[in-house]
Amino acid sequence: MGAPRLRRILFATSNARKVEEVNVVLRRCGFEAVAHPGAPKVELQSESLEAVAAAAAAAAYAFLRRPVIVEDAGLFVDALNGFPGPYSSYVYRTIGVRGLLKLLEGVEDRGATFVSVIALAYRGGVVLFRGEVRGAIAREPRGSGGFGFDPIFVPEGSTRTFAEMSAEEKTELSHRGAAARRLCEWLREHPEALE
Ligand code: IMP
């Protein structure tokens, strides 16, 4: 007897790591995200991850005409009043991990929150699933796994950065894992949404 068939759902992203992490959760609950990097990119300028994710998902659905998820995430650093937050991808591309560490040189308060919002667009509209993880910004980068700011984020309760963990370990603790678990619960209650 083979493994039960996983129900597929398109994931409009070009980030293979995000797909891998979301699938750690989705596969356990009978679904599988499949990367669809081809949908047009709509990046609404907004300070709300929810607004950005919802607009991108609605645009992807209008293009693909099939149920699709989009994820928008950000790192909110306490000592920087939440910066880079919704601008995390731009900040990562411009000043990167080193630049962020420089902004925190001599700063004792290392607290930060990673937030992930997954938006599912389907026939019935757009539904949002939010996940968060509290943690601390390390003094220097550690580890080679993951992506983005993973080498400097130590989740609460751990001594290792996300980049020092496997995708499975990271997802147990991460913002994206939490958002994906909410999505999974919702899909179980609304299986017709994927038709
Ligand atoms: P995006 O706009 O959702 O792709 O994410 C914004 C940026 O936040 C990314 O480019 C990464 O730099 C950072 N980011 C989001 N999620 C994570 C994560 O799980 N680990 C590390 N960095 C992340």
Whether 11 is covered by a domain: the verdict is: yes
Span 10-53, pLDDT tens digits: 999 999 999 999 999 999 999 999 999 787 777 778 889 999 99
Q: Which of 72, 78, 109, 150 is catalytic?
A: 72
Q: Give the CB-side neighbour count of residue 12, counting CA atoms within 13 A.
A: 29
CA separation, residue 13 to residues 33, 56, 91, 99, 160 (Å): 10, 10, 19, 25, 27
Span 54-68, pLDDT tens digits: 999 999 999 999 999
Atom of ligand 1 nearest to the CA of 92: 12
Q: Please determine, for residue 1, whether its predicted confidence score (pLDDT) is greater than 70.
A: no
Which residue has its alpha carbon closest to ligand 1 atom 15?
73
Q: What angle do CA 76, 77, 79 make, to 5 degrees?
A: 145
Whether 187 is covered by a domain: the verdict is: yes
Q: By residue range, what is the domain housing residue 42?
A: 7-194
Whether 79 is covered by a domain: the verdict is: yes
Whether 1 is covered by a domain: the verdict is: no
Per the listing, tokens 């659905």 go with: 61
Whether 134 is covered by a domain: the verdict is: yes
Considering its fold, how many domains does the chain have in total?
A: 1
Whether 105 is covered by a domain: the verdict is: yes
Provide mean pLDDT across the span 72-79: 98
Quote the distance between the C-alpha of residue 95 and its chain's center.
Answer: 20
CA separation, residue 116 to residues 92, 138, 148, 161 (Å): 16, 20, 14, 18
The 3-state DSSP class for residue 149 equals coil
User: 1 alpha carbon to ligand 1 midpoint, in Å?
Assistant: 39
Q: Is 72 a catalytic residue?
A: yes
Whether 32 is covered by a domain: the verdict is: yes
Quote the distance between the C-alpha of residue 158 and its chain's center.
Answer: 20
Atom of ligand 1 nearest to the CA of 21: 19
Provide mean pLDDT across the span 155-181: 98
The four Cα atoms 44, 48, 49, 50 give a dihedral, to 10 degrees, of -90
Span 113-160, pLDDT tens digits: 999 999 999 999 999 999 999 999 999 999 999 999 999 999 999 999
Prediction pTM value:
0.96
| CATH number of the domain bearing residue 156 | 3.90.950.10
- Name the percent of the chain lying above pLDDT 70: 98
Which residue has its alpha carbon closest to ligand 1 atom 12?
148
**Sign, CA torsion 170/175/178/181:** negative
User: 147 alpha carbon to ligand 1 midpoint, in Å?
Assistant: 7
Pocket test of ligand 1: the residue of 52, 89, 168 to mutate, having most ligand atoms within 8 Å of its CB, is 89
* Binding pocket residue ranges, ligand 1, CB within 6 Å: 15, 71-75, 88-89, 92, 146-150, 162, 174, 176
Whether 2 is covered by a domain: the verdict is: no
Q: Please determine, for residue 81, whether its predicted confidence score (pLDDT) is greater than 70.
A: yes
Confidence category of residue 2, pLDDT binned at 50, 70, 90: low
Provide mean pLDDT across the span 90-118: 98
Q: Give the CB-side neighbour count of residue 23, counting CA atoms within 13 A.
A: 17
